[in-house]
Structure 1
Amino acid sequence: MSKNYVIGFPRIGEQRELKKVLEEFWSNKCSFEKVEVVAKELKQRHWSYQQKAGIDFVSSNDFSFYDNVLDTCVLLNAIPKRFKDLENEELYFSMARGNKNSVAMEMTKWFNTNYHYIVPELSLEDEYKLNASKIINEYKEAKEFGLKTKINIIGPLTFLGLSKRVDNGDVYELHSKILPIYKELLEEISKLDESLTVQIDEPILVKDNDVKVLSLIKPTYDLLANVSSNIDIIVTTYFEHSNEASKILVNTPIYALGLDFLYGQKNFEILDEISKSGKKLVAGVVDGRNIWKNNIQNSLELLSKISKHINKEDLIISSSCSLLHTPYTLKYEEKMKSEIKSWLSYACEKLDELNLITKVFFEGVNSLNENEQNAYNDNIESNHNRLNSEIIHDKSVQQRVDNFTKLERDGKYEERIKLQKEILGYEDLATTTIGSFPQTPEVRKSRRYFKKSEISKEQYEKDMKQYIDDCIAFQEECGIEVLVHGEPERNDMVEYFGEQLKGYGFSQNGWVQSYGSRCVKPPFIYGDISRPKAITVDWITYAQSKTDKIMKGMLTGPVTILNWSFVRDDKTRSEVSKQIAVALSDEIEDLQKEGIKIIQVDEAAFKEGYPLRTENIKEYENWATRDFKICVSTAKKQTQIHTHMCYSEFNDIIKTIEDMDADVISIETARSGNELLKIFKEVGYKQEVGPGVYDIHSPRVPSVEELKKQIELLLEVLPKEQLWINPDCGLKTRKWEEVKPSLTNMVEAVKQIRKDYE
């Protein structure tokens, strides 16, 4: 009897091996064969760890060279026209990253996580056909390794729901075209073994789906679950409840449902119907999205509650979602304070927790061997210690936050912008960048050596200031009007701030995949948050002293710091966010005192934090908007507040953006054309806007003509008086040889446009 289950596993490698070899390949320093060798080693290691931890259901096809949704595009031959002449890895990576002739496919956030997926581009004229080689080969690879895996695939409803129609139709109109390909895929899979398990991920079903989508569930799974008698299909959802869909799925021939009982507590409401149907339940009770050690006693209580409705023999214990969203292993965390480390659990540790919970739940505590009994006792002790630790609670912080009354800045926008334009004197179509410049090997090396105490503070600051000087010189030379200091001192836009705040913890190796080879190392919030000293003031004021042009102060906003951190689970997210906002309001006050006239408070992850269910959105918007306004509440009327947002569909949140009351918002629009911008015109948005005019996630250098065309498209939507011109996002991950010509071309395009409008 199989009793436990992992929905998916991290794929980047415990030392980011996949990242490193991919970037070697993209730099033409190795062949793709080397990438494949590393990938094979990683897959085998990942399977081995899960097997040794006693996991019954281990996945194949949860691995990817870039993204599983992109893999599904290749699986279905959903290839945009501009890439049709390419093959193999050139095709695959061009779709993800673009090439010299074609822009990359759009990228956006995977539900409310910080993982990005490639957005499929579909049209009625597409000719879908099966390419199952990756799935088939990976299953066989695991078999050769000695492991029989479940096969993970992204379901047809989720694939469609995450796609866009380039011919402006409804994505679900294509259901009848892609469903036969899924049927054919299962027919091919059925030939692989006498009995197989296929996990079909349908997380789109946790959203508020209309009748049209719900009506497709039964015909889809009536068909797919009847393809072959030797395949057990498990439909998994996560991140929320999926009750409307579950009520339908229990009446199809699928083998089991996978439900998240940590982030979708309303899934309890469907348990009796699952029980009546006789289906298995894969119960997600080990957190796949956070890094806190599982409280085994709480998990056992949760499972006991579930087992009042579901027979134990029909219950399989699981992670709440893929462990892709957590770091790989605590093994390399050698510098972390032992007390804090004892509270944490990464992906590999979660495997052991899952196995321990399974054994205690099904066989009792007395079944544990000595090592397991010690682990069980350690779990109880560490959770008790965390609850009562003195380093978590700070009464002075709690009192200050409770009594904070300055909830928004002085003056209406119309009054502020008039004053700001008089003082700042910038032209229409003012040029700027989003903040960061390329993090060169030299910068990273200097920062790394300083952290290891291998160079002095004086040498480190000299290196950083030299880089800042070079950034300023380049910006002045190419004609950018509002400058940034380049952020060489920052390892990451959230981690850097977290390092300066009390109540934050950090890892050496807590890397999580964001997209492709891009990894982030989120800090974690374990205690009450305060700002012991200024964070950015010295660097920004140094940069301002080196130029007569305006230098932007650069901060990460409270909601983004929250959303891109692993957050303590003993307080509500709104309480933690408010603590961060109050701390950052002091930073804005200090920057102003030093003469900084423009301050950008990035809320790149504002949209990402949105609940997946409409019923929960208002509460989030209320406290998220409150905390942005608290953060900037110390800004004077003449201080111009900018903000930046990533990969957002703004149609449904435009009123909330207005409520944030920033003076200027910059947004990513280059991959999605001009569609995102139209909503600003439709609602009569008054504030100034900086839509990205080129995609920084691609190594392409846009020409002057291409940029002029993009700016002209912007001018069809908003007047020049309201527009700023900037790249899509920060330039940290790009190379100087791409950045310099791109920005030079951007400034030249603005000059020519201005001349045309004289």
Structure 2
Amino acid sequence: MMSTSTIGFPRTGPKREAKKALEAYWAAGAANGPQLLAAAADIEAAAWRRQAEAGVELTGLDGTLYDQMLDAVFQLGLLPPRFQALKASAEPSPADGPYAGGGGLDLYFKLARGAEGAPALDMSKYMDTNYHIIVPELCHDTAPCADWSPLLDRVRRGQDAVGVASAVPIVVGPCTLVGLARGEFDRSEMVARLAPAYAQLLRDLAALGVPEVQFHEPFLTKSSAEGLAADCAACYGQLAAAGVPINLVVPYDDVAEGTYRWLIELPVAAISLDFCGVPGADYGCRTAQLIAKYSFPKDKRLGAGVIDGRGCWADASGRALRLLRALRATLGADQAICVQTSTSLQHLPYDLASEPELPSGLPAPLAFAVQKVEEVVTVARAASAATDGAAPAEPHIDLSTYTGAPPPAECQLDEALFRRAEPYEGRRPKQVALPPFPTTTIGSFPQTPAIRRHRLAFKQGRLSLDAYRERMAAEIGFAIGAQEALGLDVLVHGEPERTDMVEYFGQQLSGFHFTQHGWVQSYGSRYTRPPIIVGDITRTGPMTVHEYEVAQGLTSKPVKGMLTGPVTILQWSFARNDVPRAEQAAQLALALRDEVKDLAAAGCRVLQVDEPALREGLPLKADRQPAYLRWAVDAFRLATAAAPPEVQVVTHLCYSDFDDIMPAIHAMDADVLTIENSRSGDEMIHALAASGYTRDVGPGVYDVHSPLVPSVEWLADKLRSYLQAGLLGGDASRIHVNPDCGLKTRRWEEVLPSLRNMVAAAQQLRAELVGPGRPPATPRKPASPVESRSAGGVASACPCCAL
């Protein structure tokens, strides 16, 4: 009989209860701590019981108020120096519950969101997913000061919910915490320094009678993990001495061959491996091949992640069952095997039953988190029945060759489609003239309650298309007027019509399906509703031209055309697993290419094509990365190469480590690169300067995910640091000034003073440093109401009331 386990589940609640509770706490303050903790406890208990009731034997006790990596940092006491003073002055109260010992809920959230004089910890994509973690910040002097009370409280509640024998704690492993951390420190020494704190946790868990503990170590899937054998052996040797069985969970990809050989020798009770990899990836997953070549130790349980944990497709082909049968045939009937998902299910919506209607003709049935748990139990029972004597009818899987990759596809496009009409040096002088330190924003402005009401009324048929467009034109007019009054140089229309930067485009392209309740956590209280790619992708008509024309008709300053790039649309959707990702990206690029042509024909002179997910899609193995970067860069160039030379193409990247893809960033051939930068200590600035990047750059000067308003002097110092780093040789005309990201999630009360200070800082630097480059543009008249060709009426700009 094969056993079953879960290694993570959505922390959202079936109706986004976690988001509502968190935002209510932020609105009400510390006094609302008990309500937040009670809501989180209810959400977690319901999720655990749901898994146990489905028949899962070992339920992973997943849960967090914000992020699992933040939980580890907080409970280990790994506070950077700027937060130590905040902890010393904190006054935790009973309202903080189990968080009181670590400094209280207020300190916990300040690590993620920042405080006056203490910028938040950096945020980055987790492995190759769209989930963001809070990045640990370590240094040579970092020493843990652990208080595991929140986790121990969660375990006690889990035992009450599903029983002591079934409740399994989940812990971020030390090698992953250190491997994903930033700062200057010796990694081997830091792992050794953390080990005693983890060992104490295990002793505390032993006292609670837990059956085992899951240590999640996805960092071991990276190519660099091959050199971690000594660190892991020493650390897990010390942890094994605590006497609690350890399940070492290694999700998100297969491990390298060299890593596998020492991984299976570690002193742990179980090793859980990913047999699925990235859905639709052309390289598949080689875990089965590694087991065929090197076998698996009999004294350990194999956690077989055969149910895809991050793709929304059900296993209609029976692949998981065939894999389990092949594993049993290879390893023998006496090998302990536990069936589970390949990754945590936090990357999926909660329950397919919440969807009122589903499209027909899908490539395969859909399965969300609840359904994936049911698949785990069903396939385990079926595999056990086959072991007990039932003859398999399906084709046999040969583990020695199996990868699960889709059939290859060849792109037959003319290479000329991937090249701009003129090289960068020839087209830059033809593009819009701007002053030194030109100011702009990344694209979106606050989605106010009024905007959401208008959108809902239109969606429900209570507002006609013409009436809806009039309301959106008014919102665009407000945004243009506000930017004119602030003195920004390149404007945006504010994207009031867009619920999401991916969903908006998918709704206007063929080949997509949209859920009504398919929410997935991106970070903290920020959720997304990823579309599902269900067929070939084509554009059915212009998608953004109307809004661009409304906005540009209100001002003589340049307004950006705003598109989401093909790789980001792909990465932030549930991709097909029967068609290579490269082919899906090319289809998206061709659709966007037509939109680029239409925007240029409408007079657009600055076109932004966002690719924040470019780095996110990078395979975790170095040998797989060149092929991915080729087709990802090709997709961006295919979409943007149709822009005439006089159109300035801007792209935006954020919340990832870009050092290892610098050549690809160069190859994108964008005219301006804007990047998230404020949380990462100017790491990207130094990387760009070191790489000899030659295009204009807009490093984010302040963190849009914090409610704090940056001061003029702080922003001016930030701009001076770019010059001191040698970025673009200190040419102020080529260093653009912008926030880190879009401003959709902020309030106008926060946006306006932040942008006002940003413009003032740029003006201050212009007075101090008039660098070489283009002269300031001719002053333009302020916006005034004009007749819009698309709106069919007057759209009013509001420069006065905006401020």
Structures share fold, TM-score greater than 0.5: yes
Map 1:198-213 to 2 at 5 A.
Answer: 198-209=213-224, 212-213=227-228
SS at 1:448 equivalent:
helix
Partner of 1:247: 261
Partner of 1:512: 520
Partner of 1:223: 238
1:226–1:253 Cα contact (<8 Å) kept? no
Aligned counterparts of 1:683 and 1:484: Cα–Cα separation in 2:
30
1:246, CA displacement in angstroms? Answer: 3.1
Question: What is the aligned counterpart of 2:489 among 456, 481, 505?
Answer: 481
1:81, CA displacement in angstroms? Answer: 2.1
1:270, CA displacement in angstroms? Answer: 3.4
Partner of 2:401: none
Question: Quick check: 1:267 aligned with 2:287?
Answer: yes
The alignment's TM-score, normalised by the length of structure 2, stands at 0.87
Partner of 1:233: 246
1:296–1:357 Cα contact (<8 Å) kept? no
Question: What is the aligned counterpart of 2:531 among 523, 539, 562?
Answer: 523
Question: What is the aligned counterpart of 2:555 among 530, 540, 547?
Answer: 547
Partner of 1:39: 40
1:169, CA displacement in angstroms? Answer: 2.6
Aligned counterparts of 2:250 and 2:469: Cα–Cα separation in 1:
49
Aligned counterparts of 2:682 and 2:301: Cα–Cα separation in 1:
46
1:402, CA displacement in angstroms? Answer: 5.1
Aligned counterparts of 1:13 and 1:238: Cα–Cα separation in 2:
23
CA RMSD of aligned residues (A): 2.1
Map 1:462-481 to 2 at 5 A.
Answer: 462-481=470-489
Aligned counterparts of 1:401 and 1:26: Cα–Cα separation in 2:
52
Moved runs in structure 1, 4+ residues, more than 6 A?
Answer: 365-368, 398-401
Aligned counterparts of 2:137 and 2:2: Cα–Cα separation in 1:
39
1:299, CA displacement in angstroms? Answer: 1.4
Question: Structure 1 residues 244, 226: CA separation in 2 closer, same or farther (over 3 Å shift)?
Answer: farther
1:401–1:578 Cα contact (<8 Å) kept? no
Partner of 2:122: 106
1:339, CA displacement in angstroms? Answer: 4.8
2:138–2:181 Cα contact (<8 Å) kept? yes
Question: What is the aligned counterpart of 1:196 among 206, 211, 214?
Answer: 211
Partner of 1:734: 746
Partner of 2:756: 744
Partner of 1:151: 169
Question: Quick check: 1:92 aligned with 2:113?
Answer: no
Aligned counterparts of 1:434 and 1:99: Cα–Cα separation in 2:
23
1:56, CA displacement in angstroms? Answer: 1.1
Partner of 2:144: 128
SS at 1:191 equivalent:
helix
Could you report, residue by residue, the CA deviation over 1:652-701 in whole angstroms, capped at 9, with x for unpaired residues?
11111111100001001100122211122222211100000001011110
Aligned counterparts of 1:46 and 1:72: Cα–Cα separation in 2:
21
Question: What is the aligned counterpart of 2:270 among 235, 247, 256?
Answer: 256
Could you report, residue by residue, the CA deviation over 1:8-33 in whole angstroms, capped at 9, with x for unpaired residues?
11101111101011111111277111
1:253, CA displacement in angstroms? Answer: 2.5
Could you report, residue by residue, the CA deviation over 1:265-304 in whole angstroms, capped at 9, with x for unpaired residues?
3222432645344311000011111101122522111112
Map 1:326-341 to 2 at 5 A.
Answer: 326-340=348-362
Partner of 2:96: none
Question: Quick check: 1:725 aligned with 2:733?
Answer: no
Paired positions, count: 722
Supply the AA of the counterpart residue of 1:538. Answer: H
2:566–2:639 Cα contact (<8 Å) kept? yes
1:97–1:698 Cα contact (<8 Å) kept? yes
2:582–2:631 Cα contact (<8 Å) kept? yes
1:705, CA displacement in angstroms? Answer: 0.6
1:404, CA displacement in angstroms? Answer: 8.1
SS at 1:142 equivalent:
helix
Instruction: Return 181-190 or 96-105, whichever deviates more.
Output: 96-105
Aligned counterparts of 1:207 and 1:484: Cα–Cα separation in 2:
39
Supply the AA of the counterpart residue of 1:115. Answer: Y
Percent of aligned pairs with the same amino acid: 38
Question: Quick check: 1:606 aligned with 2:614?
Answer: yes
Partner of 2:578: 570
Could you report, residue by residue, the CA deviation over 1:67-108 in whole angstroms, capped at 9, with x for unpaired residues?
111110122111122222232100100001112332111000
Where is the helix percentage greater, Structure 1 or Structure 2? 1
Could you report, residue by residue, the CA deviation over 1:352-377 in whole angstroms, capped at 9, with x for unpaired residues?
11111111110249999xxxxxxx99
1:400, CA displacement in angstroms? Answer: 10
Supply the AA of the counterpart residue of 1:235. Answer: L
Question: Quick check: 1:325 aligned with 2:343?
Answer: no
Map 1:390-469 to 2 at 5 A.
Answer: 406-420=417-431, 424-469=432-477
Question: Quick check: 1:559 aligned with 2:567?
Answer: yes
Question: Structure 1 residues 403, 211: CA separation in 2 closer, same or farther (over 3 Å shift)?
Answer: closer
Could you report, residue by residue, the CA deviation over 1:394-428 in whole angstroms, capped at 9, with x for unpaired residues?
xxxx99975685122111100011111xxx22112
Aligned counterparts of 1:358 and 1:279: Cα–Cα separation in 2:
18
Question: What is the aligned counterpart of 2:367 among 345, 348, 361?
Answer: 345
Aligned counterparts of 2:260 and 2:688: Cα–Cα separation in 1:
38
2:359–2:513 Cα contact (<8 Å) kept? no
Partner of 2:694: 686
Aligned counterparts of 1:93 and 1:653: Cα–Cα separation in 2:
32
1:156–1:178 Cα contact (<8 Å) kept? yes
2:440–2:490 Cα contact (<8 Å) kept? yes
SS at 1:79 equivalent:
coil
Aligned counterparts of 1:248 and 1:626: Cα–Cα separation in 2:
38
